[in-house]
Structure 1
Amino acid sequence: MNFKPLGDSALLVSFGEIIDEKTNDKIHSLAKAIEKASFEWLIEVVPAYSSLAVMYDAALIDFEGVKRAIGELEFSAERFEGKLVEIPVVYGSSYGPDLEFVAQYNGLTPDEVIEIHSKPVYRVYFLGFLPGFAYLGGMDERIATPRLEKPRLKVPAGSVGIAGKQTGIYPLESPGGWRIIGRTPLRLFNPEKEPPTLLQPGDRVKFVPIDEEEFLRLYREEWVDD
């Protein structure tokens, strides 16, 4: 484990720069161990791909004290796996305006992009950027595509995008520079539910292609009839 300060009331615990499931398992196992220890100075732990941010009360402890406490914890990197969530997606047309570009950029047809994108079972490494925005691992590099040079001012909630070697889903309408290839009718963030986010770290995600008729039916159930 490598430690470095984040301001005067947080530190970052890192396990290197490699993004893989084993490293992420270590991160979540350490996060559980820290939370289980119930340190009085602990405010919050925030996991990422291969690092963990630990927020603490600087009036009760300093960086060296937190570093020492975490270093003394015993934990094992257990397999971190949550539920399997199927995400229906209508690909292309107005729902996925960048599908054609992704296909052309990678020398593929739009149907091939859809097949490649919907084949894997992705892992939710962590949530960030927006409430419920899941950073997914496991995308096939054959459809890796750079971000837009100029981000869009509005990306609809549910938009499924590609940025470099990553894929993700916008849980809320927001600006964004990911290449949008489709859209899901599911509601990924609902503050009236507990938990408010559909996806959690460790969950597995499977994209399922649907047609526009099915999209509209599910959209009414999720957003209109709710």
Structure 2
Amino acid sequence: MDSQDTAAYPLVRRAGLSGILVSFGGSLNEASNRAALAYRTAVETLKLEGVVETMASLASVFVRFEPSLLPHEKLEAELQELLVAQDWLQAPLPAGRRFWRVPTVYGTDLAPQLAEAADAAGMSEAQAIDSLGAARVRVLTIGFAPGQPYLGSLGQEWDLPRQTELTPMVPRGALVQAICQFVLFSNPAPTGWRHVGQTGFTLFQAGADQPFALRPGDEMQFEPVSKPEFLKLCEDDPMHGGAAAEEIGA
């Protein structure tokens, strides 16, 4: 974040009749995402009467509220007071985060765009698998589809543009890549990102007590396995494909 960008933020803006958006940067970086995650948790902790829900995006927090219970001016004042309480760009990440290790098959017919992505990044397929498989990424936000995470950030060598045309469909559990990020698909869908890996991880279970497997702020590593290993893991563990989590210490 450059000095001009830093000077402009944080920004508090009204979003329609029942929303306020608090932004910590004009684009994603580690600090702006850290701030959004930490600030959203702090707003939740206030338990303000009239706040209906809060959501953290890549670099902002959206607060939806009921104006008849909580006027704009009062909520804005509460949010501004919270903003000056600390430097949110340096704030600790929320408690209760997990680190997920997710067995992933890269390339093969299950993830057919690895070679294209590797070539665009100036790597061999083996180098790309080593690079992507070693990356420990954060759940930056959840959106687009239920339980679906945007994950990052990857190194600048993976600052690859989206495709110019859509891939008609990738399956549930597809790991796709573009713009220094992964997305892990919770349901089959078309995408403009390159399908580089495949997991057996179920991200969304409608009707479950906890329908989303992941939380913003969780961390993930997509560890390479062979196709036969992957298929056996999915057979033994149809829900998670061998994925396992451990708590992250404070």
TM-score in same-fold range (> 0.5): yes
Matching of residue 80 in structure 1 with residue 100 in structure 2: no
The CA distance in 2 between the partners of 1:11 and 1:179, in whole Å, is 34
The answer for the alignment partner of 1:26 in structure 2 is 35
Matching of residue 93 in structure 1 with residue 108 in structure 2: yes
The answer for the alignment partner of 2:6 in structure 1 is none
Matching of residue 214 in structure 1 with residue 223 in structure 2: no
Give the secondary structure class of the aligned counterpart of 2:101.
strand
The answer for the alignment partner of 1:64 in structure 2 is 73
- 2:139 equivalent among 121, 124, 127: 124
- 1:184 equivalent among 163, 174, 199: 199
Contact 1:186 1:218 in 2 (8 A): no
The CA distance in 2 between the partners of 1:224 and 1:66, in whole Å, is 42
How far is the alpha carbon of 1:190 from its aligned partner? 2.1
Structure 2 residue identity aligned to 1:79: P
The answer for the alignment partner of 2:247 in structure 1 is none
Question: How many residues matched?
Answer: 226
Structure 2 residue identity aligned to 1:41: G
Contact 1:186 1:222 in 2 (8 A): no
The CA distance in 2 between the partners of 1:31 and 1:182, in whole Å, is 31
The CA distance in 1 between the partners of 2:121 and 2:37, in whole Å, is 34
Structure 1 residue identity aligned to 2:30: E
Matching of residue 44 in structure 1 with residue 57 in structure 2: no
The CA distance in 2 between the partners of 1:194 and 1:95, in whole Å, is 31
Cα deviation digits, residues 1-47 of structure 1 (max 9, x gap): 31112111101101122533333332223222221222111011100
Matching of residue 102 in structure 1 with residue 111 in structure 2: no
Cα deviation digits, residues 189-214 of structure 1 (max 9, x gap): 22354422222111111110011112
Structure 2 residue identity aligned to 1:36: T
Calculate the TM-score normalised by the size of structure 2: 0.82
Matching of residue 197 in structure 1 with residue 206 in structure 2: no
The CA distance in 2 between the partners of 1:139 and 1:224, in whole Å, is 27
Identity between Structure 1 and Structure 2 (%): 28
Cα deviation digits, residues 120-177 of structure 1 (max 9, x gap): 2111111111112111122122133222222133210010111222112111112221
Structure 1: any 5+ residue segments left out of the alignment? none
Give the secondary structure class of the aligned counterpart of 1:94.
coil
- 1:141 equivalent among 135, 156, 159: 156
Q: Please identify runs of 4+ aligned residues in structure 1 that moved more than 6 A.
A: none
Contact 1:3 1:14 in 2 (8 A): yes
Calculate the TM-score normalised by the size of structure 1: 0.90
Contact 2:11 2:24 in 1 (8 A): yes
The CA distance in 2 between the partners of 1:9 and 1:153, in whole Å, is 37
Contact 2:200 2:240 in 1 (8 A): no
The CA distance in 2 between the partners of 1:22 and 1:101, in whole Å, is 31
The CA distance in 2 between the partners of 1:105 and 1:26, in whole Å, is 32
**CA RMSD of superposed structures (Å):** 2.2
The CA distance in 1 between the partners of 2:162 and 2:77, in whole Å, is 40
